[in-house]
Amino acid sequence: MKKIVLLLLTFNLLLFANVAKIVAMNGEATVLRDNNTITLAVGNELLKDDVIQTKENTKIQIIFKDETIVTIGKNSEFKINDYIFDEANQQYSANLGLVQGTFRTITGKIGKVAPEKFKLNSKSSSIGIRGTQILSNVQIQGDTIFCTEGEIEIVSQLTGETITLQAGQFVQIREGEPAVVQEFDAQTINTTDTNTKFLNDEEKEEALENFGVTINQVDPIAVETQEETNNQDNQTQINQTTSNINDTSTYDDLEEIAQDNSSSNTMQTYSVLMGESGSDFFSSSVLNSGTDGKMLFESGTSRRLNFQLDNILSKYSNDGSYTGTLSTIGTQSIQGFNPISFISGSYESVKDSEDGQMNLVFDTNDDIQWGTWNVSFEDSDNEEFSLNGYWLIGNQTAASEVQKLISDGTSANYSGHALGKTTMGTSFDASDSSVTFNINFGAQTLTGNFSLANESYDEDVSGTLTSSGFTFTPDSGSGSGNGSFYGSNANSVGGNFNLTGGGYTYSGVFKAKKQ
């Protein structure tokens, strides 16, 4: 049984004697100070020039005087190079060293009043901020940096290049490699973010409101009893637990409870934009994965469309037949036809199963829903054009739950269907398609079969998996597919694919349930 240490927050933040304090910790960590190595505990104060080192399966969170919060993951090293927060004399400086490992930072007051004075530095990069949440993975081969909120400016220490990241973008800084700004999806960030997650803004604000220095031990049996009720709704559970420990739980305590649930709050979305041979817009299909009904489609550097399935989360909770509008996010761009103007967009759910009489029906007892979407644009010549595709959404299984299946060496079989279209112009759905997977979690491998459009495509596939998802390719022909685990105990799988065989390409989304 893991013992959870809670810091009860009782005094004003200004009572901090030093630059920062450890407010939560799981595992073991030390600080190197004046050539002495000191074992850390919750409540310990931190000084300028301290070097914090974490061990395997360790995660700690520290809060600075200006309310900057840093989470440090396992096998990491973090140094407080410089820190000044003097509101009375308006003197501010924060220079934090990311030496090795994984870090997530929520900037505080310095980031708001003097953002030019806040720097995160590693051997490969220097990060400046503008009111931001930043996730960084620092390794010998270079850095991977995510901007999850706000905007950051990165100077590569390797090339001198300056890179700007907006929220939702990441970049890799590597010796001898170009720094390419990319959009990140849930799979990409979860691979890095396993050990560095935060409360939402409301929970952070509540915790900071009464921040202090008194440390008490909460009865671990009471905490364990509370955790045993975690099969209830995740957000309700967080609220209940916060209340039960006098509204003073620290960041990791709430995360432990959330991660122990069988599913996460992530509504993982997969989508497909159907291309058309010879099209001036998209000559081939484009696959995308995101969250909460967001769909980003890019082809090279000259074509970029970004959509949102409006109100999809509320419609998902009702299941069954529904329609909705589709809107654009940000600037849309198709080189040679700019500016393009969005006219309208819509989406519709599609039946995803068969009853005993071979009739298509909605399966209202599963973890995934899917459907079609279409949009209309007007190009620079005032000519209207349309694009369409497919979408899939569900409540993604928590990475910790999938990791347990991997650790336990579990195997499972899945069976389901696909929804999509071929370059022959024919469509397929649950009535004329079948999808199967045999997943060996212990070996982190999978095999399966896709039979589409009344077996006009029938090929075996194989692939690999991690705790955040999987990829696969056909054993013959070409193409690929991506997927995630959904529901309690990875009860379902779903994703998208683009598979070619017999001279034709088959693109769409798939879903399958554990048998």
Lowest mean pLDDT among 14-28, 287-301, 432-446: 14-28
Segment 335-346, tens digit of pLDDT: 667 678 889 999
* 238 pLDDT tier (thresholds 50, 70, 90): very low
The pair phi, psi for residue 452, each rounded to 5°, is -125, 150
* pLDDT recorded at residue 274: 86
* pLDDT recorded at residue 149: 76
* pLDDT recorded at residue 495: 96
Q: Taking residues 174-199, what's their average pLDDT?
A: 62
> Has residue 201 got a pLDDT over 60?
no
Segment 57-107, tens digit of pLDDT: 788 889 998 888 898 988 899 999 999 998 888 999 999 999 888 888 888
Asked: is 266-514 a CATH 3.30.870.10 domain? The reply is no
* pLDDT recorded at residue 314: 82
Domain ranges in the chain? Answer: 1-74+195-261, 266-514
Q: Taking residues 110-124, what's their average pLDDT?
A: 88
* 111 pLDDT tier (thresholds 50, 70, 90): confident
Q: Which is more confidently placed, 255 or 446?
A: 446
Residue 78's identity, in one-letter code, is: F
* pLDDT recorded at residue 87: 86
> Has residue 216 got a pLDDT over 80?
no
Q: Do 463 and 250 form a contact (C-beta atoms < 8 A)?
A: no
- What are the Cα distances from residue 157, in Å, to 140, 160, 236, 321? 13, 6, 45, 54
Residue 236's identity, in one-letter code, is: T
* pLDDT recorded at residue 400: 83
Q: Taking residues 295-312, what's their average pLDDT?
A: 80
476 CB-contact burial (10 Å; exposed 0-12 / middle 13-18 / buried 19+)? exposed
> Has residue 167 got a pLDDT over 70?
yes
**Mean of the per-residue pLDDT values of the chain:** 78
Listed ranges 31-45, 181-195, 483-497; the one with the highest mean pLDDT: 483-497
Residue 149 is encoded by which pair of tokens? 């909120």
CA–CA separation, 130 and 170 (whole Å): 16
What is the distance between the terminal CA atoms of the chain, rounded to a whole angstrom?
32
> Has residue 138 got a pLDDT over 50?
yes
The residue ranges of DSSP E strands in 350-491, in sequence order, are 353-354, 360-361, 368-378, 384-397, 411-422, 427-428, 434-440, 445-452, 457-466, 469-474, 478-486
Q: Which is more confidently placed, 205 or 176?
A: 176
Strands 20-26 and 59-64: antiparallel
- What are the Cα distances from residue 463, in Å, to 287, 420, 438, 489, 515? 17, 21, 10, 20, 20
* 256 pLDDT tier (thresholds 50, 70, 90): very low
> Has residue 10 got a pLDDT over 50?
no
CA–CA separation, 485 and 395 (whole Å): 9
Q: Do 94 and 66 form a contact (C-beta atoms < 8 A)?
A: yes
CA–CA separation, 298 and 268 (whole Å): 19
Q: Which is more confidently placed, 216 or 279?
A: 279
> Has residue 34 got a pLDDT over 90?
no
